[in-house]
Amino acid sequence: MAKARRTKKRLSFEEAFERLEELTSFLEQGNLDLEETIKAFSEGKELLRYCEELLGEAEESLKIIDLNTGQEVDAEEEEK
């Protein structure tokens, strides 16, 4: 599990999610000592928050262009 990590703000969503999956696997295996488990859990929580933040930003930036008017419409408004 010892791995040089880039700061989370420099990770792409895919890299952060991959690391989160890796940490989940380590935790599920149950082979870590208490200190390593706490570190992995803590890093996982940070990565989860970071991934949620990136997804929120992506959702906000999604726009649909109404083909009839040519105006941008919020993606959530279009679904209604």
Tell me, what's the pLDDT at 2? 39
pLDDT of 40-59, one tens digit each? 999 999 999 999 999 988 87
C-alpha–C-alpha distance, residues 52 and 80, integer Å: 24
SS3 assignment, position 70 = coil
| pTM of structure | 0.67
pLDDT band at 76 (very low <50, low <70, confident <90, very high): low
Domain ranges in the chain? 12-79
Q: Cα 69 to chain center, whole Å?
A: 34
Q: Which residue(s) pair with 73 in the sheet? A: 64
